[in-house]
Chain A
């Protein structure tokens, strides 16, 4: 039970790509080296403690010598060598990880941190989405990471280490997934009340699946089919959701404060990846977003949450949810 943590989807000692794998190797190298020294030095200390314990009643003074210049210099030289032994592979890896391998044609992805969600853009395919995106396996992905508000940190543990999303700066990070699968990521820099709820997922797929996804994401949003959803679409305008959210092909829905919802229905999860994207969860979220993500901007500033005149009724929530679910 206490070993459950090994199974964590964010266990970076179970790497799924070359970057995380190199980092794991360096980590283990320094770890084993440190354990080795700890055992020797700590063992020596433990031995001294046990061996030189005073016998009761023995009041005679022990040998009072307290100098050994050569010994000291020797120990310092050994320490310096050990420090160098760690420094060499570390500096090598720092340079290796600084950019993707030459000639590897990385896929460019823009990552923009928001309180409290992640925006992902793939300029090559004109895609903008939030919190979930797909990448092709076997190809380096180069991220251009920034933020629109406070400092966040972009991190997918099983694929590679993190880099901070700093407002006004462009930071770069690359990694590559070698196996298909969903990789869990999370904001790693305290960014406010819902820092814990700023999760995201990277779905690594084969090229075919990736291209199919890209095509669908680039297309305009689906038109609603059911009556309920059609009414929801109207509400999306009249309740002013459009001020903050964009839906491709919906005139007026070009807001950029909140996530782009063009293909919201196809997402797996919602509320910072906390719950499944089901009808019930979506309705709960629309009813009280702050209970999922404290102090999120929609709850703090959305007129329907701060002004009774605009408050959503049960009925309206159902319609909006129906519309959003049909944005497949």
Chain B
């Protein structure tokens, strides 16, 4: 342990704070961890869990729709399922899945030992978990929100949603919002400051680039929704009237605030997946990514343009032809940078020597599925005909093709691809292929027919329909397919866990890959890089393999390997805010207790001692 950190003169009764937790194993080590890899694993498992929860909700929804006039989940119950399915999938499953990869991979890809703010990183995870708990607690405490995931005012007002469901929903999303905002800032600072020497931004791996863009989207979009949620909470509980027409408020204001967040959110989901695919396709084509600069720039352009299209969710609100035309055109324009990505992926395949391992199967599937979703998006962008498609199953088909086809498929690819790095184990190739085909086919059988339900006039979010609408047969078919998809996904995750528990040890670089994370053992040691790399080229690791020269490294620090210290404070601050959230829903004194815990832990955070420690270096030549 070194002595060059500042010693704080703590009052005696606080002296226990001097010693940071140091447990390396067991529950305590996970609760106090600040290791980005462990936090990544926590994100991964937690998002798998919520993917399961959201999937069950989806299958409940599909059961109710499997035939006309069913009464399994009726009215409000059905609306709660729909609302929570979307909220869970977006905020608790897909976004955190991206966060899992960000956490684990960014430091490894840029040659760093951890993120810039390790304790803040742990705090992000615990806030996400707290948000998930608050959101889902509503099921057991008087019912979840039934106002839909975009929660249009005034349906969310105390008049039309008198239960606490919406309050739980608001607070849950505020907590996950804090989680994502903090994480975004953490990743931005990490990427700006902690890249290995020589790795200029234009030599950074594409996945880290897309994470970088996504982090900016998060940092700009999430405060908007967080503020809107706070306003909504005040409308419901403290008598303000921002969204209440009768008192001079405007419900459409909510829609603008929501979608200014909500559309960038789509890119928050798909850009990380695009980043993963942009890593995988070159590796398995054994070629560099075609047009690296344009892929990066188009990602940034998509992120920027994502903020200019929000009102295409509101074409039917009555904005008039001028506004509708403007947003039609900005929407269609996003097709240009998106097209660039697709062309570059295909041109990377061109002339390659393609190996169809499981990650590559998911990646190429993503390109196809995202094209389907992208084209239906282009069609939605034509406002004049979108007046028909809007709020029908055509949209439901569209966003499942983009969010699952363009998002989840990328994360499945990433799971298989990076599993060796996460756990040092590799998935069974044969079974992986079979599972892929089951998922791919059942996905299309579930969501493609929804286009036809849309053109035949079935609105989204209706809990039932009568037989004379002629939607029964197709809905029955879709439900059947959705159960196959559900089971196939479940089998996928069982297979992941089986692989983790198995003895299929993975080598450091099982795919013959290109980026730095593969230059260190699987799984990486706690300090990631014993010797920090010096970068000269894009894909330095690949170049070093081709030229058969080791990557240059920085001289060793005489103190040892610099490591961040563990801490209880991220967990305790999060518990404080979790308790405060329940207090806020019920307007009870728990609020003050929770905030008190938060504040105390916050001081503890500032005061606790020895922020870092040093590990001895391993022997040279031994990885």
Contact = CB atoms under 8 A, between A and B. Distances in A.
Nearest to B455: A13
B155 A38 contact: no
Interface string B452-485: 1101111111111110111111100100000000
Contact of A54 (B291, B355, B364, B474): B355
B462 A94 contact: no
Contacts of B356: 53
Interface stretch (B128-136, B196-204, B271-279, B377-385): B377-385
B582 to A, nearest CB: 26
Contact of A27 (B335, B389, B462, B465): B389
Contacts of A58: 353
A176 to B, nearest CB: 15
Interface in A31-48: 31, 34-35, 37-38, 41-42, 44-45, 48
A223 interface: no
Contacts of A7: 470
B83 to A, nearest CB: 9
A9 interface: yes
Contacts of A167: 154, 245-246, 251
A154 to B, nearest CB: 9
A64 B287 contact: yes
B329 A186 contact: no
B388 A23 contact: yes
B382 A86 contact: yes
Contact of B390 (A5, A98, A168, A188): A188
A48 B288 contact: no
Q: Which of B456, B457, B473 has the most CB of A within 10 A?
A: B457
A155 B455 CA distance: 13
Contacts of B124: none
Interface string A153-179: 101011011111011110110000000
B383 A94 contact: yes
A91 interface: yes
Interface stretch (A67-75, A100-108, A230-238): A67-75
Contacts of A6: 456, 470
A49 B349 contact: yes
Nearest to A160: B387
Interface in A115-174: 115, 145, 149-151, 153, 155, 157-158, 160-164, 166-169, 171-172
Interface stretch (B73-81, B100-108, B213-221): B73-81
A274 interface: yes
B567 interface: no
A34 B379 contact: yes
A125 to B, nearest CB: 26
Given A79-B336, A163-B318, A64 B288 contact: yes
B607 interface: no
B372 interface: yes
Interface string B561-584: 000000000000000000000000
Interface string B384-419: 111111111000000000000000000000000000
Contact of B367 (A24, A45, A274): A45
Contacts of A23: 384-385, 387-388
A4 interface: yes
B371 interface: yes
A90 B385 contact: yes
A75 B385 contact: no
Contacts, number: 296
A186 B460 CA distance: 11
B287 A162 contact: no
A263 interface: no
B593 interface: no
Nearest to A75: B343
A8 B355 contact: no
A45 B341 CA distance: 13
Contacts of B376: 34
B474 A4 contact: yes
Interface string A174-197: 000000000010111111111110
B316 A161 contact: yes
Nearest to B477: A2
A325 B456 CA distance: 34
Nearest to B160: A150
A4 to B, nearest CB: 4
Contacts of B318: 145, 163-164, 166, 169, 171-172
A26 interface: yes
Contacts of A65: 351
Contact of B250 (A8, A72, A157, A168): A168
A188 B457 CA distance: 10
A74 B505 CA distance: 46
A98 B287 contact: no
Given A37-B375, A62-B287, A193-B79, A90 B468 contact: no
Q: How large is the interface on B (under 10, 10 to 19, 20 to 34, 35 or more residues)?
A: 35 or more
Given A79-B336, A161-B385, A162-B390, A45 B160 contact: no
Interface centre among B318, B344, B383, B464 (most CB of A within 10 A): B318
B290 A162 contact: no
Nearest to A186: B459
B352 interface: yes
B453 A67 contact: no
A189 B152 contact: yes
A308 interface: no
B264 to A, nearest CB: 20
A88 to B, nearest CB: 10
Interface string B173-208: 000000000000000000000000000000000000
B437 interface: no
A187 B75 CA distance: 15
Interface string B358-373: 0000001001100110
Contacts of B154: 149-151, 167
A306 interface: no
Contact of B351 (A63, A149, A191, A294): A63
A2 B353 contact: no
B333 interface: yes
Contacts of B464: 196
A20 B388 contact: yes
Interface string A291-308: 000110000000000000
Interface stretch (B114-122, B320-328, B519-527): B320-328
B317 interface: yes
A171 B252 CA distance: 13
Interface of B: 74-76, 79, 146-148, 152, 154-155, 160, 245-246, 250-252, 285-292, 294, 316-318, 320-321, 324-325, 328-329, 332-333, 335-336, 339-340, 342-356, 364, 367-368, 371-372, 375-376, 378-379, 381-392, 449, 452-453, 455-466, 468-474, 477, 546
Interface of A: 1-2, 4-13, 20, 22-24, 26-27, 30-31, 34-35, 37-38, 41-42, 44-45, 48-49, 52-55, 58, 60-68, 71-72, 75-76, 79-80, 82-83, 86-87, 89-91, 93-95, 97-98, 115, 145, 149-151, 153, 155, 157-158, 160-164, 166-169, 171-172, 184, 186-196, 274, 294-295
19 contacts: A5-B456, A23-B384, A26-B384, A34-B375, A41-B371, A53-B354, A54-B354, A66-B289, A75-B340, A91-B321, A97-B384, A161-B387, A168-B251, A169-B318, A191-B155, A195-B463, A196-B465, A274-B466, A294-B76
Given A5-B474, A55-B353, 10 more contacts: A2-B449, A2-B474, A5-B453, A11-B457, A30-B385, A97-B387, A167-B154, A186-B462, A294-B76, A295-B76
Closest 8 CB pairs of A and B: A161-B387, A10-B457, A294-B75, A168-B245, A196-B462, A193-B75, A171-B318, A93-B384
